[in-house]
Homo-oligomer: A and B are copies of this chain.
Amino acid sequence: MSATGSTPDLSRCSLNTATVKHATLSEAVDAAASAGLGAVGLWRHQVQEHGAEKAARIVSDAGLRVSSLCRGGFLTAADEAGIAAALDDNKRAIEETAGVGTRELVFVVGGLPALSVPGQGPRPDAGPGDRDVAAARARVADRLAELAPFAAEHDVRIVLEALHPMFAADRAVISTLGQALDLAAPFAPETVGVVVDTYHVWWDPQLRSSIARAGAEGRIAGYQVCDWNLPLAADPLNSRGHVGDGYVDFPTISRWVAETGYTGDVETEIFNEEIWAADPRDTARTVGERYARHVLPHL
């Protein structure tokens, strides 16, 4: 239920620090605290810069929680060296997650082996097998089986993020929430979960049933909100908008999430050049206002 007084309850509203990309960790935390938010979502480079213990203290000293850590993943390599590097890097990410005081490690699982660099065309030597998206998805399943025991040992949850299908070639071969749940199915829900990110899944005809399934399975590890803006930015990765500026039906999707009994944080994660250029405190205040107007009444 939403607060009915003049001061909305922003305790579940979290600022993912990518939304204020150019701020230092301290500046981002200050912005979130000044806006009255309850938590921040961190990125690995911040943990690596300060060390997990100090990064955790910067957050807790401001009276905030860490809602999640971004990000592990990139599991689709087909060659031995690539597989070993992915396992190694993700084990470090799991350790960083445990150290910084959250259980939730968001995974973006990676694109096709045909990829040259994200957002660009295929390698000139890419063959049909390098475009085999079903095979890439099978490798994700294999890597998860190798990483899940390590995550469980560290009491960390691998949180699979379905990315919008326009990123299937270059960023994530998990394209729907239902597919993320299928990949999570072999593992305990406290070890492999999913995040519902409105930007990536709002269009999905099966969204309602997939959210209900995720809730019933105990796998909703996070709810991320930002809007689908048009026109797409030159780099479509950065097309996201503040909640309420685009086409996403936040009342409906928030209600579906709430109906599962989800009581965790609601993270705002926006990649947008204009928003990155704004003052972090202004951005955090807008995040809180939009959450209060479009999301909170439906939770």
Which residues of A are at the interface with B, using a C-beta cutoff of 8 A? 112, 114-115, 119-122, 128, 131-134, 137, 164-166, 168-170, 175-176, 178-179, 182, 202-205, 208, 228-232, 234-236, 245-252
Contacts and interface: CB of A to CB of B under 8 A. Distances in A.
Nearest to A298: B128
Contact of A203 (B114, B168, B232): B168
A229 B120 CA distance: 8
Q: Which A-B residue pairs are the 5 nearest by beta carbons?
A: A168-B203, A169-B247, A131-B249, A165-B203, A179-B205
Given A165-B203, A169-B247, 8 more contacts: A121-B231, A134-B208, A165-B165, A169-B246, A176-B205, A178-B205, A182-B205, A231-B235
B134 A230 contact: no
Contacts of A247: 112, 114-115, 122, 131, 169
Given A166-B164, A232-B232, A203 B133 contact: yes
Contacts of A120: 230-231
Contacts of A203: 133, 165, 168-169, 175
Nearest to A229: B121
Which of A178, A179, A228 has the most B CB atoms < 10 Å from its CB?
A: A228
23 contacts: A114-B247, A115-B247, A119-B231, A120-B231, A121-B231, A122-B246, A122-B247, A128-B251, A131-B249, A133-B249, A164-B165, A164-B166, A165-B166, A168-B202, A168-B203, A169-B228, A169-B230, A169-B246, A170-B230, A175-B203, A175-B205, A179-B205, A232-B232
Which of A169, A205, A229 has the most B CB atoms < 10 Å from its CB?
A: A205
Contacts of A204: 165, 175
Given A175-B203, A202-B133, A166 B121 contact: no
Taking the full assembly, how many copies of this chain does it contain?
2
A115 B245 CA distance: 12
A208 to B, nearest CB: 8
Contacts of A231: 119-121, 235
A247 B168 CA distance: 10
A232 B239 CA distance: 12
Nearest to A231: B119
Nearest to A116: B230
B170 A128 contact: no
Contacts of A246: 121-122, 169
